């Protein structure tokens, strides 16, 4: 069964009295272990597509199926389970909560689902993997942009997602840290998860197995 199947997906937005399609008839099929990269010009619809796959934005038409389940057919509880247990999501921009320490930000998706057990060890391992274990007790106001991004990456992995959606995750990182993050994503895809990455960076290319471009709402596979 495919990790993700997207068919005929459209998102129509209204702006300035008119409407336009931010995503137009998108189709993609992603399997276990796939490492997919979507690139394209600003405003092309990449984040809109990713947000629909993440179950955060309702499509105008079309279907998204994950592990054989259609997102549109899920009730609120099932959709929250999908978002919290099945997928990891790294949004574009800053998404770390300012009033929680780094480690509490990483732990938050775990506690939102009141899982039993102590995930602190796992959170520390993830922080170590992204190179900021020494900042576990720090607060976001005292972190750099790249450190905040790495916190978001560790947070996206706390519930061991089957599918990781990452929107420009390396944009605030220096080349060495960007490489490290790409290696982490590559390891995740090898552990039979799927990774869908949105990026502008050309140097991420060598890690990625499948490439898509997105221009004016049109998604195309290029490899």
Ligand X SMILES: Nc1ncnc2c1ncn2[C@@H]1O[C@H](COP(=O)(O)OP(=O)(O)OP(=O)(O)O)[C@@H](O)[C@H]1O
* Among 111, 115, 136, CA closest to 124: 136
**Footprint on residues 44-73 left by Mg ion (CB under 5 A):** 46-47
* Structural contact between residues 162 and 86, judged by C-beta atoms closer than 8 angstroms: yes
User: Which lies closer to Mg ion via its Cβ, residue 107 or residue 148?
Assistant: 148
User: How does strand 163-167 pair with strand 87-90?
Assistant: parallel
Say whether residue 39 binds ligand X (CB under 6 A): no
User: Which lies closer to ligand X via its Cβ, residue 23 or residue 106?
Assistant: 23
Say whether residue 59 binds ligand X (CB under 6 A): no
Task: Single out the residue of 60, 63, 80, 92 in contact with ligand X (rule: CB under 6 A).
Answer: 92
CA distances from 190 to 4, 35, 54 (A): 16, 9, 21
Q: Report d(CA 175, CA 173) in Å as an integer.
A: 6
Least distance (Å) between residue 44 CB and Mg ion:
8
* Structural contact between residues 26 and 4, judged by C-beta atoms closer than 8 angstroms: no
Say whether residue 92 binds Mg ion (CB under 5 A): yes
Least distance (Å) between residue 34 CB and ligand X:
21
Say whether residue 22 binds ligand X (CB under 6 A): yes
List interacting residues with ligand X (CB under 6 A): 13, 15, 22, 42-48, 92
């Amino acid at each position: 069964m495919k990790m993700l199947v997207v068919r005929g997906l459209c998102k129509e937005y209204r702006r300035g009295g008119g409407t336009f399609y931010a995503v137009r008839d998108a189709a993609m099929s992603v399997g276990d272990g796939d490492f997919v990269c979507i690139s394209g010009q600003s405003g092309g619809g990449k984040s809109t597509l990713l947000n629909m796959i993440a179950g955060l934005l309702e499509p105008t038409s079309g279907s998204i199926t994950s592990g054989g389940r259609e997102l549109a057919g899920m009730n609120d509880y099932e959709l929250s389970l999908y978002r919290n247990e099945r997928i990891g999501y790294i949004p574009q921009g800053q998404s770390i909560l300012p009033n929680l320490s780094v480690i509490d930000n990483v732990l938050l998706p775990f506690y939102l689902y009141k899982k039993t057990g102590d995930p602190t060890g796992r959170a520390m391992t993830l922080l170590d993997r992204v190179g900021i274990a020494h900042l576990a007790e720090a607060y976001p106001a005292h972190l750099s942009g790249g450190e905040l991004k790495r916190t978001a990456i560790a947070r996206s992995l706390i519930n061991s997602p089957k599918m990781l959606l990452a929107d420009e995750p390396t944009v605030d990182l220096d080349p060495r840290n960007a490489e490290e993050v790409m290696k982490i994503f590559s390891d995740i895809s090898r552990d039979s998860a799927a990774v869908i990455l949105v990026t502008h960076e050309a140097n991420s290319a060598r890690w990625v197995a499948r490439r898509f471009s997105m221009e004016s709402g049109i998604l195309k596979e290029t490899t």
